[in-house]
Each structure stands twice: as structure tokens, then as C-alpha cells.
Amino acid sequence: MHRSTVQPERLGAHVSIQGGVDTAPARGLAIGATAIQVFTKTPNQWREPALSAGTCAAFRREVSRSGLRGVVAHDSYLINLASPDPLVSLRSIGAFKAELERCTALGIRYLVSHPGNYIDDRDLGLKRNAEAYALCLQAVPGRVMVLLETTAGTGTALGANFEELAELRARIPAPLRRRIGFCADTCHLYASGYDLVRDFDGVWDYWDRVIGLRRLHCIHLNDSKTALGARRDRHELIGEGTLGREPFRRLMTDPRFSRVIKILETPKGNDRNKMDRKMLRRLRAYGKTARRVRSVA
């Protein structure tokens, strides 16, 4: 008789690194997280900090002490690996290499990255993007996996549809392709036209056919302030936006996503700990409610 294996929870939020990246695991514990996402540097500056061996060792030690089951990093907002501008491209490649190096030093397995903005021509942008990822992965060997994040489709951003994400991965040389996975953002999916409200299973079945669920390693849990297909990236609190509660109930209970790291990026207000704790309690309650309903049925 087949027995389903219950996966340990990997649920949390993006947490601050104010005071040093090694302070992040404690912030995860403070909100009751079992997983965290961090920036490894200030995300809106080109300046590249040098992490000391002591800081890296402290981060690894604090992760181990915390019992966190998942840690992911997010790259800088300034990076655009699809840019046709030679200077932007050069700076972006240098910055992304540094992101991979910091993740390696910190022992972070996954680096979430937004596909770039092509600006001029979509196909050329895909080509530049793939070549840049390959160059960076070649320059920084190791176990760090890049997770291409779904985008809302604003302007010339790549990655708003599954076919484009799959093509971007396919354009990366085979020996390096194993280090490319994916991160799905629920707000971005809905904003780009994937109806998680009325066709939850259809969306994920299609993802599985085009990309493969086995390549999904992280989900950003965000409700949306805008309507289906609005192509605007506007995050809302869980269950309080146009997605509503049901897609998040499903994500918390569907066994297809039990192994996937789930990270909140919802508005934090004036007290980030209080709001993150509230959202995590809400998500866990969704999961418990759905399980109770199934058991009664």
C-alpha cells in the first residue's frame, strides 16, 4: 500500500539583514518561520560588500542553530542580464557573479533572480539573458542554483509566461542547465494572466507540462492589489486582494507543493514582525481548516 510522505514545513518570509546578514536567522525565528529569504547586500545599490569569513561562518552557524529548513537569497533589483546597454550588461554580470559568490560563501543553496528587461528586441533579450546566466554560472561553479522568477509582464520584462521561462532555461548550455530552477510568485502569475482563482489546477498542470513541477523550488506567496491580467506587480496581504483565500489554501495543502519553500513578500506596515507573524498564522490556519474539511468528508 502506498503511503504519502509528509514533508517538513518550509514556510516563512523575506527578512531584513540590517546589522549584518548573520542577524537574519534570528529574525526568522522571531516571526515563527521555518524558512527565510534574504538579500545578501543592499538591493538598490551597485556597491558590492565583501563579507568576512567570520560573518559567513556566523550566518551558517545561526542557520544551523535556528533549525530553519530553507534559506533562499534574492538578487539585486539593479541587475539586468538582458540589457542591450554594454555598460549595464557588464555591471549586471559582475553583480550577479558576486551574488553567486556570496551565496556560496554563506551556504545558501538557492538564488532567486528576475529575468531581465530586453528593452529592444525580445529574442535578442532572451539570448543575452541566457548567455549572461551561463557566463556567471561558469565563473562561479558549485551547488548554488539560480531560480528564475515569474514576472508580472510589465513593460519589456521577460518571464511573464511559462514558455518564455522554459526557453530561457533551454538556451543555457546543458552542463550548466541543471543549476537553473524556478520560483513562482502568485501575484505575478495572476497579474500576467494565469487564473489561480478559477483554474488553480489548470494553471499548475500547464506549468508541469511546459516547465515541470520538479523544477519549482520556491513560491512567493503574495496576494494581488490588481485584477487578473493587469500586468502590474502590486502585492497585497494574503486573502485580502483579488486572489482571495482559496489559492493559498490550496498551496498550503496540495501535496505537489509540500517540498517547495514558501516565502511571504507581503506589505509589512510599521511593524514587520507583527504583520509577518499574522500572515504566517493565517496561512497555517488555511492549511488546518482544509485538512479538517477533508477529514470530515
**Does some domain include residue 181?**
yes
Residues of the chain short of pLDDT 70, as ranges, are 1-6, 289-297
**Does some domain include residue 3?**
no
pLDDT digits 0-9 by tens, 184-201: 999 999 999 999 999 999
**Does some domain include residue 201?**
yes
CA 19 to CA 29: how far, in whole Å?
Answer: 16
pLDDT value of position 288: 86
Percentage above 90 pLDDT, the chain: 92
pLDDT value of position 6: 58
CATH number of domain containing 77: 3.20.20.150
Do residues 80 and 92 touch, judged by C-beta distance below 8 A? yes
Do residues 43 and 76 touch, judged by C-beta distance below 8 A? yes
Domain that includes residue 100, residue range: 11-296
**Does some domain include residue 6?**
no
CA 66 to CA 250: how far, in whole Å?
Answer: 28
pLDDT value of position 291: 54
CA 277 to CA 296: how far, in whole Å?
Answer: 29
**Does some domain include residue 1?**
no
Number of domains present in the structure of the chain: 1
- Determine the 3-state secondary structure of 208 from DSSP: helix
**Does some domain include residue 4?**
no
- Residue 223, sorted as left (phi over 0), alpha (psi -120 to 50) or beta, turns out to be beta
